[in-house]
Amino acid sequence: MGTLVLAEDTGSSGCQLIVDGQQRLATTALLLIAVRDRLHELAQDQAATSIDDRYLKRYELSREETVTRLVLSPADLPAYDALVDGTYDASRADALTLAYSQCRQHVNDLSPGREDYRVLINLVGQLADSVQILLATASGIPEAYVIFETLNDRGADLTTADLLKNYLFSQAGDSSIGYIESMWTRIAASFEKPEDLVKFIRYEYSSRAGKVTNRKLYRALQDDIGAGSASVKRYLQRLESALDVFWLSGTLITRDGVP
């Protein structure tokens, strides 16, 4: 499954931050949830509970409550928690619920009858024993994003927005990462397509520093932003302020469906 990049989280006990690998881990978790739910339907409750306890949840004694082992970003957290808890709404059109529905269809095809439950147990065994990853664990956020960019500079097709996000996060420092991640999420959520986000970033830069090609944009942004959390905050604040001008200029046709 490639390389997962983790960073030690100094603000939480026993947890690590996922810098690269969120989608792979979330998809694996959704498959395990689908297997668990199908095992319940096949009256294999003990096996289903074992999946819950080993892979999806854990009891945290200090908090005296059961928590999920994987914590997603704020935008995806409600849908994921509902899937883990079995309280999800199947009619929802969010990405996680749709992905879970595909996993359920696959799992149902593998185990059409009660006698087929062993196929699902073998599937879980394959995930646990045969699927391999490379794990890179950094001492903190800045080092983790340096590792991420180094790995992805060797062939992965990342957009300028992907590279910029990781540069911003690498400069954030432990004390500012939450604020900077929140600002970036708000800005990125304004665009349906990654290429539109890149277009906006390039236009904002060009309006201040002159014309730049897509190929040279990322390096130009690094020089323009500078290093350190204060510089990153100023850049994101400026970028967020430019959003209204960008949309009012009619560069893109609609925002949230409004012309």
- Do 168 and 236 have their domain in common? yes
Q: Is the pLDDT of residue 1 over 90?
A: no
Q: Which of 129, 146, 173 is the last residue of a domain?
A: 129
Q: What confidence tens digit (pLDDT) does each residue in 187-232 have?
A: 988 888 888 888 889 989 999 889 888 778 888 888 899 888 899 9
Query: Considering the domain boundaries, does residue 138 fall inside one?
Result: no
Rounded CA-CA distance 3/21 in Å is 7
Q: Tell me the chain's radius of gyration from C-alpha atoms.
A: 21
Lowest mean pLDDT among 114-123, 215-224, 240-249: 240-249
Average pLDDT taken over every residue of the chain = 84
| Local structure of 75: helix, strand or coil | coil
Adjacency order of strands within the sheet including 134-138: 16-20, 3-8, 134-138
Structure confidence at residue 33 (pLDDT): 97
Structure confidence at residue 6 (pLDDT): 83
Query: Considering the domain boundaries, does residue 188 fall inside one?
Result: yes
- Do 123 and 176 have their domain in common? no
Structure confidence at residue 257 (pLDDT): 42
Q: What confidence tens digit (pLDDT) does each residue in 75-93 have?
A: 788 899 999 999 988 888 8
169 neighbors 141 (Cβ within 8 angstroms): yes
Q: What confidence tens digit (pLDDT) does each residue in 12-64 have?
A: 556 788 878 888 999 999 999 999 999 999 999 999 999 999 999 988 887 78
Q: How many domains does the chain have?
A: 2
Structure confidence at residue 43 (pLDDT): 95
* pLDDT grade for 137, boundaries at 50, 70 and 90: confident
- Do 178 and 215 have their domain in common? yes
Whole-angstrom CA distances from 236 to 16, 165, 169, 197 are: 26, 10, 11, 13
Query: Considering the domain boundaries, does residue 88 fall inside one?
Result: yes
* pLDDT grade for 142, boundaries at 50, 70 and 90: low
Angle at 52 between CA 50 and CA 57, to 5 degrees: 130
- Do 46 and 95 have their domain in common? yes
Rounded CA-CA distance 107/103 in Å is 6
Q: Is the pLDDT of residue 122 over 50?
A: yes
Which structural domain, as residue segments, surrounds residue 185?
A: 158-248
Query: Considering the domain boundaries, does residue 153 fall inside one?
Result: no
- Do 7 and 125 have their domain in common? yes
56 neighbors 32 (Cβ within 8 angstroms): yes
Structure confidence at residue 18 (pLDDT): 83
29 neighbors 70 (Cβ within 8 angstroms): yes
- Do 124 and 165 have their domain in common? no
Rounded CA-CA distance 17/9 in Å is 6
* pLDDT grade for 113, boundaries at 50, 70 and 90: very high
Structure confidence at residue 47 (pLDDT): 96
User: Model pTM?
Assistant: 0.65
Rounded CA-CA distance 146/142 in Å is 6
